[in-house]
Chains A and B, each alone.
Chain A
């Protein structure tokens, strides 16, 4: 039997990249695909994926659920669950280009849906909480069904394969987004499968990650107390849930979130001005279980912006540059040059220093 995530350890890097227009101008997926070509060797063909924000303007008020199914039986079961919980205004197969480089495809569907008002009443939940619970329910209890994207006016596209092929496979040239993130996978610890590719996403948050976090189990045990279920045994998944927990539920700012998951050393905190020291001490104390240790560089996608962050020791590379209204982020400068040959202000943020880019108000 083919071993799945968590049943086998494959020791190994990864590639991440992103582009965002601060003016909210829409870009097709072609450029972000280009960025992954010079970083080809950072992946090994076992996973590639993209998140695009602003891609579904026609259905922007509906949750876009992207779901992998093992077979039609799984689909029937899951659709029955969806129908009893959601109003579905559109259900369709996600269009793909068949190609030899992408094999073992699951069924790939998308649904534009809203929670049934009666269910929200029954459960006394707001829409986001309801959708997050439904995603956990499907991914935990409906075997062979996996929701890999559940935000509004955004979508994740991922597969097993090299990322530049995955982008062509999903026809990203036909989508227009104000921000894109991308990932090329070189699985550490686990074999590549479709659900295990990045980005990992919950509601509007998505994460691409290069690294291997050593605090996974401590983070997982903590976050599972709040209703999240880590079903993939892949470290990045827990980062996605931590992001949702801190930003949406605890209402921390992006900067506070960065100071929590990539908290400075105590010796560094001691030397900060009193007010800042107090805040950093508070965050490290309250959320000590959400400190992420081990090497990582991540890009967090959210509605209207991006945040790039390195672990505090900066054990992974990350470069940021600008071109006109665009900010470009990647594991390597070459990737940025592949998108914008004459990008300017190229710099490498320090470990634990978040780079936060937002689209101008009202432009997305």
Chain B
């Protein structure tokens, strides 16, 4: 079912989506927030610019954006997939605890801030381009993958990646010799077992955006994990 977002505010838009069938095409978006918030069983294709907090609390639905998205994509999402054929703004996947965010282009600041995992819940964010500063800030669980494809002279990640990281894994394509990580994380070149772990997501990325997995794997990956031997001490209080 086709829905035009023109002249609909976020509330009316989400009501229209809830009343529509499982397969929806949303056109003419212009900044409406909270699109598909909490939705479970839908496949929603979006054109235009969806507003902040796209797919917040998403609970199983699939969202595909034919262009850029703004800030806080997949805020606190629980399950489902968000596929962005473009760039995303700041704070993507804020506190997400499940599901997949798959971005063809670049991510802004603080992608994957406070991602977490619990039992069978494993959130994953895969970014084709570059990521801004504070990637995976306070990451507590889940997997963040940044590939830096087509980045030219741009850095794969901005300043201070993994600040406050205490769980989960981060994968950056390449050896990342020039990237400065905090003392509380370990960075090492990914082994075959590490790559096996992220292969399903790389395949999804390639299928979504038309890449060849072999091309992407034609490079080392750096894996970043918290250093449990060097925990955060006395950052705020003596402990």
Contact = CB atoms under 8 A, between A and B. Distances in A.
B81 interface: no
A350 B30 contact: no
A271 B159 CA distance: 11
A348 B159 CA distance: 15
A333 interface: yes
22 contacts: A38-B30, A38-B32, A41-B33, A271-B180, A314-B109, A314-B132, A317-B71, A319-B89, A332-B49, A332-B70, A333-B49, A333-B70, A334-B30, A334-B70, A335-B31, A337-B30, A337-B48, A346-B87, A348-B90, A348-B108, A350-B133, A351-B109
A69 to B, nearest CB: 37
A77 B48 CA distance: 53
Contacts of A271: 180
Main secondary structure of the interface of B (DSSP, over half): loop
B133 A314 contact: yes
B89 A317 contact: yes
A39 B70 CA distance: 12
A337 B133 contact: no
A314 B109 CA distance: 7
B164 interface: no
Contact of B68 (A313, A317, A346): A346
Interface residues of A, number: 19
A334 B109 contact: no
Interface in B1-39: 10, 29-33
Which 4 residue pairs are nearest across A and B when measured between Cβ atoms?
A: A334-B31, A38-B31, A334-B49, A314-B109
A104 interface: no
Nearest to B110: A314
A338 interface: yes
Contacts of A118: none
Contacts of B90: 314, 317, 348
B105 to A, nearest CB: 10
B51 interface: yes
A41 B31 CA distance: 10
A337 B67 CA distance: 12
A271 B180 CA distance: 11
A70 to B, nearest CB: 36
A356 B234 CA distance: 41
Contacts of A334: 29-31, 49, 51, 70
Nearest to B33: A41
Bin the interface of chain B by size. Answer: 20 to 34
A268 interface: yes
Given A348-B89, A351-B109, A332 B31 contact: yes
A268 B155 CA distance: 15
Given A333-B49, A337-B30, A317 B70 contact: yes
Contact of B159 (A41, A268, A317, A338): A268
A337 B159 CA distance: 30
Contacts of A338: 30-31
Contacts of A313: 133-134
Interface in A130-147: none
Interface in B142-171: 158-159
Interface string A340-351: 000000101011
Interface in A14-48: 38-39, 41
B133 A332 contact: no
B72 to A, nearest CB: 9
Interface string B116-143: 0000000000000000111000000000
A216 to B, nearest CB: 23
Q: Name which of A38, A317, A333 has the most chain B CB atoms within 10 A of its CB.
A: A333
Interface in B50-76: 51-52, 68, 70-71
Contact of A332 (B48, B51, B134): B51
A333 to B, nearest CB: 5
Q: Which of A38, A313, A319, A334 has the most CB of B within 10 A?
A: A334
Interface in A308-364: 313-314, 317, 319, 332-335, 337-338, 346, 348, 350-351
A41 B32 CA distance: 9
A39 B51 CA distance: 9
A351 B134 CA distance: 11
Contacts of A332: 31, 49, 51-52, 70-71
Nearest to A338: B30
Contacts of B51: 38, 332, 334
A333 B68 contact: yes
Contacts of B29: 334
Nearest to A319: B89
A334 B10 CA distance: 14
